[in-house]
């Protein structure tokens, strides 16, 4: 692959099949300038210069609405933490190599100590800010607030004023733990993540449970303030139709990983944005017995696929949906680019269109490995 930049921050992407809105995959050359798509020239009129994308698909960069695989770079083994700079730079490389140009990191703010504590969340956010100029991709925040983390609300509210607005997800892994409906392995993993043994974790859990009556008002307060500040809201792991309805009433129009088919169908019928896991598609089913994402997609009940816990999954899922005749690539790709962009309120990306960011993935035909990835017109990954 040869690259010639014509001058300044301008370049060309030529010879590929570009995925264009309303047209599908068509032969076109792209002129990029200042990090944006300046022109789309249908047909292949350019014979030299720029980035040669012959025999390749040119696709919009992937927008990942929820990914927490970075946690495994920070804590690759139970109770074993690594320096944040090292972990986040490695995460950035993985994102770029898998075509994810915009990543919303699922940073959890919980009552737990350890990996998902407020203190660790703030350290992660500080590191992302400090490293911004050295990172390849556009890193953003998906704040996962555990609804029993009442003492941490002030710090969460302060994040709403960031120039690049975060997402706010309402998470409740506490109530199921209190009720005993989470598996022993899940409890054990949570304890290890919190750097505690299981007995101490359970003692802390039951102390937190004493404030359960304060949780509904806290959710309402945080939702109201987030909406005032223009922060998009999600609810996570809705277990019932009533739960989904209650969050929708608070302004949470994104339903992330509904736990059963009734809740999923109710969310979709109310025109909520339904987010499911791309790993679910790649593996042919959920790792924990939840809804099959591919079945939901076939029935038009899913609008966005997220990397969840595995960064290679969105790209592979879109290709698998096409190969298995569940959804043509042109439509499958919207689940990982256009639709999450719209859901997150990002109007400057997600499609190949004049005036939008030059976030592009160059994919050789019959391959699942990008040959090149550009973010804001900058080449951030090349496989050869």
Give me the average pLDDT of each 10-residue run along the chain (384 residues): 47 95 96 96 80 95 98 95 97 98 98 97 98 98 98 98 97 89 86 95 94 97 98 97 98 96 97 97 80 93 97 98 97 98 98 98 92 97 88
Residue 4 tokens, joined: 């010639």
Which superfamily does 62-343 belong to?
Answer: Metal-dependent hydrolases (3.20.20.140)
Q: What is the pLDDT of residue 4?
A: 40
The pLDDT score that the predictor gives to residue 288 is 65
> Taking the domains of the chain in order of start, what are their residue ranges?
3-60+351-382, 62-343
Q: Please tell me the predicted confidence (pLDDT) of residue 285.
A: 78
- Condensed to tens digits (0 to 9), the pLDDT of residues 305-335 reads 999 999 999 999 999 999 999 999 999 999 9
62-343: same fold as 3-60+351-382?
no
What confidence score (pLDDT) does residue 162 get?
Answer: 96
For 61-72, the pLDDT digits (tens) are 999 999 999 999
The CA-based dihedral angle spanning residues 347, 349, 350, 354, taken in that order and rounded to the nearest 10 degrees: 100
Task: Provide the CATH topology of domain 3-60+351-382.
Answer: Urease, subunit C; domain 1 (2.30.40)
Give CA torsion, residues 275, 276, 277, 278, to 10 deg: -90
Q: Rounded mean pLDDT of the chain?
A: 94
Q: What is the pLDDT of residue 214?
A: 97
> What's the pTM?
0.94
């Amino acid at each position: 692959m040869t690259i010639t930049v014509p001058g300044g921050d301008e370049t060309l992407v030529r010879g590929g099949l570009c995925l264009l809105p309303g047209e599908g995959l068509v032969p076109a050359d792209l002129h990029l300038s200042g990090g944006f798509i300046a022109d789309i020239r249908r047909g292949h009129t350019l014979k030299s210069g720029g980035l040669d994308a012959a025999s390749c698909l040119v696709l919009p960069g992937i927008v990942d609405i929820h990914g927490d695989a970075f946690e495994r770079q920070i804590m690759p083994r139970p109770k074993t933490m690594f320096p944040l700079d090292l972990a986040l730079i490695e995460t950035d490389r993985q994102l770029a190599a898998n075509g994810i140009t915009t990543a919303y990191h699922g940073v959890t703010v919980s009552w737990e100590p350890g990996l998902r504590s407020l203190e660790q969340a703030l350290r992660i956010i500080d590191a992302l800010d400090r490293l911004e100029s050295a990172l390849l991709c556009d890193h953003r925040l998906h704040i996962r607030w555990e609804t029993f983390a009442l003492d941490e609300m002030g710090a969460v509210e302060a994040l709403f004023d960031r120039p690049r607005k975060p997402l706010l997800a309402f998470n409740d892994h506490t109530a199921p733990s209190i009720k005993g409906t989470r598996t022993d392995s899940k409890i054990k993993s949570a304890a290890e993540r919190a750097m505690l043994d299981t007995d101490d974790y359970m003692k802390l859990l039951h102390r937190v449970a004493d404030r359960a009556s304060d949780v509904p008002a806290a959710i309402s307060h945080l939702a109201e303030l987030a909406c005032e500040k223009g922060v998009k809201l999600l609810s996570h792991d809705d277990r019932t139709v009533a739960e989904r309805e209650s969050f929708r009433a608070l302004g949470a129009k994104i339903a992330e990983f509904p736990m059963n088919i009734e809740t999923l169908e109710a969310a979709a019928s109310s025109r909520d944005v339904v987010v499911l896991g791309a790993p679910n598609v790649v593996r042919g089913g959920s790792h924990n017995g939840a809804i099959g994402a591919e079945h939901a997609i076939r029935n038009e009940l899913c609008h966005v696929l997220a990397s969840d816990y595995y960064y290679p999954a969105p790209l592979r899922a879109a290709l698998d949906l096409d190969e298995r005749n569940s959804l043509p690539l042109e439509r499958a790709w919207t689940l990982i680019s256009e639709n999450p962009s719209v859901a997150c309120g990002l109007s400057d990306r997600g499609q190949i269109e004049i005036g939008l960011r030059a976030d592009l993935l160059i994919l050789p035909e019959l391959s699942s490995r990008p040959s090149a990835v550009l973010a804001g017109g900058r080449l951030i990954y090349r496989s050869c």
